Amino acid sequence: MQTQKTLGIIKPDAVEKSHIGEILDRIEKNGLCIIAMKMKTLSQAEAAEFYDIHKERPFFNDLVSFMSSGPVVIMALEGVDAVHRYRQIMGATNPQNAAPGTIRADFAESIDHNAVHGSDSTETAARELKFFFNEDEICPRLVTQDRH
Ligand code: GDP
């Protein structure tokens, strides 16, 4: 298994409910390293560009409004099989289908207010990391073994 980087976001609903600490704890306890992090409120234009792939979907406008409705925490994560591992920690997009113990099962209330984002492939991760972070903002750590 390869060391990878992925992009995670703690969405406005989870920030508003003060779940930042618990979510970061789950990420770290599951063997992923936080190698960059920033908190900001996205503009509508930034949110629309980030979710450009969904622009034809009926929920796009609601998604953009929600993602720019308050501060988010944007994280670069690193670890063995990080893309898939973080998706597993997050749980299914619809919290009603999310496995027990996942972030979305425990902190999300609905499919449109679902607490976290995570890149869905290494290609997406590379694009999303570049969207939010400059090279010099990322502090990679050598992960030499699976800490799971
Ligand atoms: P993710 O990778 O699990 O976040 O899911 P997607 O990339 O498919 O969708 C991006 C985000 O759009 C999701 O996290 C949801 O917040 C939202 N979304 C996806 N599908 C739906 C839907 O059918 N209805 C609504 N209202 N929102 C959706």
Longest dimension (CA), the chain: 43
- DSSP string computed for 2-31: -EEEEEEEE-HHHHHTT-HHHHHHHHHHTT
Give the residues across from 80 on adjacent strands: 3
Residue 140 has pLDDT above 90, yes or no: no
| pLDDT tens by residue, 4-60 | 999 999 999 999 999 999 999 999 999 999 999 999 999 999 999 999 999 999 999
Question: In this structure, which residue's CA is closest to atom 9 in ligand 1?
Answer: 93
Give the residues across from 34 on adjacent strands: 77
Task: Compute CA 30 distance to the chain's CA centroid, rounded to the nearest angstrom.
Answer: 14
Q: Is 59 in the pocket of ligand 1 (CB under 6 A)?
A: yes
Task: Compute CA 51 distance to the chain's CA centroid, rounded to the nearest angstrom.
Answer: 13
For a substitution probing ligand 1, which of 10, 56, 62, 63 has the most ligand atoms within 8 Å of its CB? 63
d(CA 66, CA 62): 6
| pLDDT tens by residue, 90-111 | 999 999 999 999 999 999 999 9
